[in-house]
Amino acid sequence: MGNCVCNSSAKVDAAHTSTTISAISKSDASSSSLSLPIEILSSPNLKPFTFNELKNSTSNFRPDTLLGEGGFGYVYKGWIDEQTFTASKPGSGMVVAVKKLKPEGYQGHKEWLTEVNYLGQLHHPNLVKLIGYCVEGEHRLLVYEFLSKGSLENHLFRRGAQPLSWPVRMKVAIDAARGLSFLHNAESQVIYRDFKASNILLDAEFNAKLSDFGLAKAGPTGDRTHVSTQVMGTRGYAAPEYVATGRLTAKSDVYSFGVVLLELLSGRRAVDRTKGDVEQNLVDWAMPYLGDKRRLFRIMDIKLEGQYPQKGAYVAATLALKCLSIEAKARPPMTEVLATLKQIEVPKSSGRSSQSQRRRVHVPIKKSHAPINLTRKAAFPLPSHGQSPGVH
């Protein structure tokens, strides 16, 4: 299970009744205690858990129940009763993912609160389901549905992982586009702000869901064209104009989607320091090939072994190119992205189609790099608009 965390700016609907709780947490800046207000929007869909219930559900957070570690906490496998959602003994009932926040201060607290409020109000098949939460003293926990296939990042980049077929890659892209489109077109627009492969989780049938809403922000309202905010996110995925100015729009998410679509096509990370200088940044390396039908095969994932429709790959590459436009206004809205992806021909058989529809590319297979964590690393402040957005 990947991370999902939250930020106190996340009032999805001001009309909802909210509950204010006073709690104590550690300050990032000092060791003294800091009183942090907690304003959780009322949601009948969320169950409040006690800390002891979640301790019992995870065998006291025993190491063998650890699913992974993210930027602000650890994710454990737990069990709850399927009918009552009360915590049950390990091995009994429904499996869930329990995220336990590290008690390290204000930023983690904000992200935890953002997640509770957004996922408590927003519901869609392509958003991860938040079941409940725990706030008790310094303890902050979140309880999610368990997605057995883990993150897209693991399937694309982890050593030894079974390669994803072309149809599965397109299915994941469509599901993720549906999730983003839902957020952008909600009554109160939501900008996801941290769209990346590690935040896309997969269930047993490879249905994709967006997780980790800790950096999500409400979109601009009225006559405003953007939201001005501290630059947060992940290098390689963040839109260049956002990194440069701190001005956030839904088109910032579209750029990030283009990066992930490029990862699906190429099987390469957005930023990979194991590559040579020219190939470290995926967008910079791939850009010259995206609009060239004859040279596109040079960036396609060798693990596909040439088993993909040339026309479909070119449409996807052209779409990625549009999403990655330097000019934010030139990027398509997610509704258009979704419609284009749906039009891509996906062969009924992932492994056997006519040679005229598929290109087999003969490229030596290189060894992949070291395994990665199950969940994402922390999103962190990117260089402010006076600094270079280079990779560190």
Task: Give pLDDT < 70 ranges for the chain.
Answer: 1-44, 71, 104-107, 345-392
Q: Are 42 and 19 in contact (CB under 8 A)?
A: yes
Question: Which residues lie below 8 Å from residue 277, measured CB to CB, with a gap of 6+?
Answer: none
**CA–CA separation, 252 and 325 (whole Å):** 11
Model-wide pTM > 0.75: yes
100 is in an annotated binding site: yes
Q: Which two tokens stand for residue 43?
A: 């949601």
Is residue 175 annotated as part of the catalytic site, yes or no?
A: no
Outline which parts of the chain fall under CATH 1.10.510.10. Answer: 150-381
Q: Which fold, 150-381?
A: Transferase(Phosphotransferase); domain 1 (1.10.510)
Residue-level pLDDT at 382 = 56
Fold of 18-145: Phosphorylase Kinase; domain 1 (3.30.200)
DSSP letter string over 335-369?
A: HHHHHHHHHS---SSSS---TTTB-----PPPPP-
Which entry of 64, 175, 194, 212 is annotated as an active-site residue?
194
pLDDT on residue 23: 36
* Start and end residues for every CATH 3.30.200.20 domain found in the chain: 18-145
pLDDT at position 10 = 34
Tokens 């398509």 belong to 332
